[in-house]
Structure 1
């Protein structure tokens, strides 16, 4: 646990970091936090976690780690579980410093392995011990989110071998068991199973459980820790499987959470965005364009309405980044499968401002179109990982981009397969009936090729949903009878009620603003 600076000098002084030195403000913070954790005072814990920890980090520890856990132990009665929680915050702060633009040196493999060992100890206590705590949902979500992030970060770190020093390579050999993909998946799956969260959510549907109504908290004197870690682990598993390119398994892991209902995942905006981003991306890669479009539109409308309330949140920059990435993914979905009736008017306006030119290019399916698809996918996709450890006895190369290149290749291959479908769609939208011979002439292909293209369209616009049913994601359908194509275009349902409600709300806001105006 080494770096630089101490009390008063954490913001940039040159004093040497002393892990045993505890500033008075940290002593007070730890003592109060420990008391609130012991008293299950969730409100005060949340205030200290979201506010106090961040303020102290900015003021004293911008360029230095927090004091060592052993040093603050006297101020929490040496409580083993509290010290595990403190170490979790310690390593999270260390990772945040290492990834900031002001810091150039990444965390060493040894420190990453120590963080892994701390998570193992913490989750083992939760799984096999008796944890009688209530912690804020924000902290429990951040715990799972950081666990997955550190796994992803370690996979990227060890995949960049080219410029590693001998000491770094030695540490990679020494800690080769740290952040093992099976270990990571096993812990998250164990939290899901031990918490029995899937059964709790099923019982809630039958009216036998109050989980969403209580935001996952236990007001009978029990603990919410295992239950909520299990809940958020389902989102963590979806994220990991997306990073590995196993989209079907990822969606299965999230299946117990009904995204069509207001759920506990929406309370913490980070979990809300992560769940929908990875859910939408997985559906996009599985050609379920309509489902991806529907969910992206809902979350983007939510962010559009409520992002101003999160401006002071430490996650605000991440919210804005994910917002931009989801607009890019929505542009891809609508270019491959136009479903404009599924997106909100306000989201559509924002999308046109950001990506109208690129979406026009992507309809052409020429080199410029492929470049636009490549650019948007590369910007908006997750940071894919290769989970297997490197062969350190081979010539040292960087392979951290291999997984990304493979997913990009598969995606662009899918785009190329749809090359002729765009032209077919534009022709069929003009006709209610047209002969195969006539359409083949228009498209400058022979009839056999056209039949193949028509079958490709049917195949590409149908997919298997989570329940195993074949569903269509096309905005129109057709059938062929006696060499004549009959087109059935689905007419979007006009929701006049929504329009009038929006206008009423706008007028009420205007009246409210006018009432505030004072005339002389």
Structure 2
């Protein structure tokens, strides 16, 4: 809100003739002011009535059902409203427009505060997803999130409010997404108008990094979720550890999802060690962990864990994380095609295949044959270029990285007084860090491809194959030897801990000018191959049988029509 100050245009002395004016009763002013207020209220009511009438009948019914289910804490019906009806109505009525204004919805639900706050969260989220949010929308959405989290965190006792896990996850996930989007929007000052720059400069508290982190840490602390997870691992009393707030599903799940959200934020900031430390109380080996209750949360955990490992140079661990979640996504893809989260899960899966192509090229290890086949179909050509090394490999590496990496952010506001000097894009900065480390690793696939063909060979022979001198080859062999062993996660709670183990099945020893190669071969697992192809054959048989039945039915219908 802005208010201009005005000064009197005429500042000379003015003679006041008191007898020329009658005394005006204060009651006349009060009556006029009251009449004006009544007229304004009538106009607002008329506008609200028109706005409500413009809401489609089906949408009004949906909002009524959503409101009643929220009041009664009917989680099952709320889940249906949220996961199905909201998505369907958005496609039908608001594919290219916003949902009804909250002020019109307020007339349908009697100005219920928490319902309108949750509705505004959906309202702004839809604008972000389908339209282009203005700076005003970004500000208002942040204020609405502040209202929502203050309501949850600052209540005297636990709220009698229950929401589906998917909705709770989406609230945390969208909160972080809008924070990232605002940071990107704010950093590109050359594309902003003078008015927008002035607003950004005057409101540094909006989408402030400290505020976002404070919300996530506050939700974690309020729910005692780390204490609950630790008690569950150690066989302690989880109920006692949860406390008054943490025993409620609302606080417990928001706290848990905030841990995953923190992992994402730390990766966006480039602190990969802290990202993995944040998950110290979450057991990724537990197939029934809370993160598995929401598929998009499940995928997010492994995406950021795998990426953090990749940036820390632990390529074998990154490969293991990506293969694990991609196997899960592949096996459940038919289920996700019927869910609204399919697009986000599918996009993350495509990005993880690109990251897996990088990890496997930098540190060749055996992966599941189904994933390996898909990877070869998607990125076979890029992998071949990476194995050849050289400048072409660096170009492919950069291309895959920029496509698949998270959206990094600059946490601090830019210099609003110097619009011309924009900082380096955070993606480019992180790419430089990654390429500097990966360049050393790119010699490994090339050397391995030659070494695996021999059991012994001379240094001169290998240098002639690679077209480099012997001294350079010795350096590359030492790099290979060093990169051959990596810290590998052993499956305990600490994702940063591990054992130094060989990450490839090919080792060698260099004695003077002779190279002695040893390869430990692992027998091919034929059972997986037969099971997978048996399932494919069964799918073909089922398809043929269904087509045969359909053709017989059509033939019978046609014969009846002829008769």
Distance 1:44 1:418 in 2: 53
Q: Report the Cα offset of residue 374 of structure 1.
A: 1.6
Q: Could you say which residue in structure 2 is the equivalent of 1:374? A: 398
Residue 436 to residue 200, structure 1, CA distance change in 2 (3 Å): farther
Q: Could you say which residue in structure 2 is the equivalent of 1:144? A: 172
- Greater displacement, 352-361 / 49-58: 49-58
Among 98, 101, 112, the alignment partner of 1:65 is 98
Q: Could you say which residue in structure 2 is the equivalent of 1:258? A: 283
Q: Report the Cα offset of residue 321 of structure 1.
A: 2.0
CA radius of gyration, larger in: 2
- Greater displacement, 497-506 / 313-322: 497-506
> Where in structure 2 are the equivalents of 1:386-425 lying within 5 Å?
386-399=410-423, 402-425=425-448
Residue 202 to residue 506, structure 1, CA distance change in 2 (3 Å): farther
Among 459, 466, 481, the alignment partner of 1:458 is 481
Residue 461 to residue 388, structure 1, CA distance change in 2 (3 Å): farther
Q: Is contact 1:19–1:66 with CA below 8 Å preserved after alignment?
A: no
Q: Secondary structure at the match of 2:500?
A: strand
Distance 1:418 1:436 in 2: 20
Distance 2:119 2:541 in 1: 50
The answer to whether 1:32 aligns with 2:65 is yes
The answer to whether 1:269 aligns with 2:295 is yes
Q: Report the Cα offset of residue 417 of structure 1.
A: 1.8
Residue 233 to residue 414, structure 1, CA distance change in 2 (3 Å): same
Q: Report the Cα offset of residue 406 of structure 1.
A: 0.9
Uncovered stretches (5+) of structure 1, i.e. residues with no partner: 1-16, 99-105, 212-220
The answer to whether 1:284 aligns with 2:307 is no
Among 489, 493, 506, the alignment partner of 2:519 is 489
Distance 1:459 1:125 in 2: 54
Q: Report the Cα offset of residue 283 of structure 1.
A: 1.1
Distance 1:500 1:267 in 2: 32
The answer to whether 1:107 aligns with 2:140 is no
Q: CA RMSD in A?
A: 3.3
Q: Secondary structure at the match of 1:363?
A: helix
> Where in structure 2 are the equivalents of 1:84-123 lying within 5 Å?
84-98=117-131, 106-123=132-149
Residue 423 to residue 63, structure 1, CA distance change in 2 (3 Å): closer
- Greater displacement, 505-514 / 456-465: 505-514
Q: Is contact 1:310–1:316 with CA below 8 Å preserved after alignment?
A: yes
Q: Report the Cα offset of residue 187 of structure 1.
A: 1.2
Distance 2:486 2:218 in 1: 31
Q: Could you say which residue in structure 2 is the equivalent of 1:175? A: 203
Task: Provide Cα deviations, 1:58-109, integer angstroms capped at 9, x if missing partner.
Answer: 33333443333343335444333222211211111121232xxxxxxx4232
Task: Provide Cα deviations, 1:288-318, integer angstroms capped at 9, x if missing partner.
Answer: 1111112212222222232232224333222
Q: Could you say which residue in structure 1 is the equivalent of 2:17? A: none
Q: Report the Cα offset of residue 184 of structure 1.
A: 1.0
Task: Provide Cα deviations, 1:180-231, integer angstroms capped at 9, x if missing partner.
Answer: 11211121122223222223223333455789xxxxxxxxx96311111111
Among 258, 266, 280, the alignment partner of 1:241 is 266
The answer to whether 1:128 aligns with 2:154 is yes
How many equivalent pairs are there?
A: 488
Uncovered stretches (5+) of structure 2, i.e. residues with no partner: 1-46, 240-245, 490-494, 554-563
Q: Secondary structure at the match of 2:190?
A: coil
Residue 222 to residue 182, structure 1, CA distance change in 2 (3 Å): closer
The answer to whether 1:230 aligns with 2:263 is no
TM-score, structure 1 as length reference: 0.84
Distance 2:100 2:446 in 1: 64
Distance 1:475 1:458 in 2: 11
Q: Is contact 1:36–1:44 with CA below 8 Å preserved after alignment?
A: yes
Q: Report the Cα offset of residue 120 of structure 1.
A: 1.9
Q: Secondary structure at the match of 1:91?
A: helix
Distance 2:284 2:71 in 1: 34
Distance 2:291 2:268 in 1: 20
Q: Could you say which residue in structure 1 is the equivalent of 2:220? A: 192
Q: Secondary structure at the match of 1:260?
A: coil
Residue 461 to residue 228, structure 1, CA distance change in 2 (3 Å): farther
Q: Is contact 1:476–1:487 with CA below 8 Å preserved after alignment?
A: no
Compare the two structures and name the one with the higher helix fraction: 2
